[in-house]
Amino acid sequence: MGEFVNLEVADGVGTIRLSRPPMNALNRQLQEELRTVAREAGERADVRAVVIYGGEKVFAAGADIKEMADMTYTDMADRGAALQSAFTAVAEIPKPVVAAITGFALGGGCELALCADVRVCADTAKLGQPEITLGIIPGAGGTQRLPRLIGPSKAKDLIYTGRFVAADEALSIGLVDRVVPAEDVYPEAVKWAARFADGPAYALRAAKESIDRGLETDLDTGLEIERLQFTALFATEDRATGMRAFVAKEKPEFSGR
């Protein structure tokens, strides 16, 4: 159990909950706790899908600028890789991951949301990458994950201007996947994640890895990644269970093995 980040598990869904009032500023301690909890969520067999949640009022309003204000180039040169790897640990959770976004998801908060597979957003939420207004650029994946998600021109607009994006625009440009009333954000995210609590865990893992790794390479290499993942699933119990159930016209009961 961390001071600022915890993993709560219920019915196969693990919630990575940020709790650093008032705005969940992502200081060094929170980043390290995030890395630890993300790895735990990835390793635990009782966690089949993950929700990232900052609470009812805010997702995460960005990095702890007070902590960063006096850092030198060499300070950040020493810290930068650890900052990125904390977020990458979330992106690499080998299970379905949904971000439940309330309030602000700015700077590092937006970058954390980008690490999820899908994003459920409150109709009152604001998202953005305002680092340029501090004389810097996103440093936890924003310049890489954002253009991969919404395209380079839209990403450049948000990063160059540093402007905040309301929920309706975030939905229209593909930054979020669903907009709901604020009080419904967490329940909707859990509902999405719960769909996979009894699913074929290794097939879901293979699908996520094939998509994520394939996006980083050319089509032929991506197809080879898919082929290897596809054929490997024929060694799993769930593949046999799923196909037998299909032939028998029954609902499969997957074991996650």
Residue 79 pLDDT: 86
**Are both 89 and 152 inside the same structural domain?**
yes
**Are both 172 and 224 inside the same structural domain?**
no
Query: Is 94 a member of any domain?
Result: yes
The label of the residue with tokens 């009080």 reads 183
* pTM of the predicted model over 0.85: yes
- Contact of 109 with 24, CB cutoff 8 Å: yes
Rounded-to-integer distance, Cα 42 and Cα 250, Å = 30
Query: Is 257 a member of any domain?
Result: no
Count of domains observed in the chain: 2
Percent of the chain at pLDDT above 90? 91
Average pLDDT over residues 134-139: 95
User: Tokens at residue 171, please?
Assistant: 């939905």
Residue 68 pLDDT: 87
Whether 239 has a pLDDT exceeding 90, the answer reads: yes
**Are both 113 and 238 inside the same structural domain?**
no
State the residue range of the domain holding 213: 201-247
**Are both 184 and 213 inside the same structural domain?**
no
**Are both 85 and 70 inside the same structural domain?**
yes
CATH value at residue 82: 3.90.226.10
Q: How do strand 118-122 and strand 126-128 relate by DSSP bridges?
A: unpaired
**Are both 222 and 98 inside the same structural domain?**
no
Query: Is 75 a member of any domain?
Result: yes
CATH value at residue 225: 1.10.12.10
Residue 80 pLDDT: 84
Catalytic residue among 40, 56, 67, 131: 131
**Are both 223 and 116 inside the same structural domain?**
no
Query: Is 33 a member of any domain?
Result: yes
**Are both 221 and 173 inside the same structural domain?**
no
pLDDT per residue over 187-230, tens digit each? 999 999 999 999 999 999 999 999 999 999 999 999 999 999 99
> pLDDT confidence of 146, banded at 50, 70, 90?
very high
Give the up-direction half-sphere exposure of residue 66: CA atoms within 13 A in the CB hemisphere: 2
Query: Is 254 a member of any domain?
Result: no
Closest by CA to 49, choosing from 208, 171, 159, 157, is 208
Query: Is 28 a member of any domain?
Result: yes
Whether 1 has a pLDDT exceeding 80, the answer reads: no
> pLDDT confidence of 18, banded at 50, 70, 90?
very high
**Are both 175 and 219 inside the same structural domain?**
no
For the ranges 19-28, 60-69, 247-256, which has the lowest average pLDDT?
A: 60-69
pLDDT per residue over 26-48, tens digit each? 999 999 999 999 999 999 999 99
Give the domain-ending residue among 175, 194, 213: 194
**Are both 183 and 219 inside the same structural domain?**
no
Query: Is 27 a member of any domain?
Result: yes
**What does pLDDT average to over the chain?**
95
Helix (H, G, I), strand (E, B) or coil at 168: helix
Q: Which long-range contacts (CB under 8 A, 24 or more apart) does 132-139 make?
A: 132/159, 132/160, 132/161, 132/162, 133/162, 134/65, 138/107, 138/111, 139/76, 139/80, 139/83, 139/84
Catalytic residue among 8, 33, 40, 111: 111
**Are both 135 and 232 inside the same structural domain?**
no
Active site residue 131: yes
**Are both 55 and 144 inside the same structural domain?**
yes
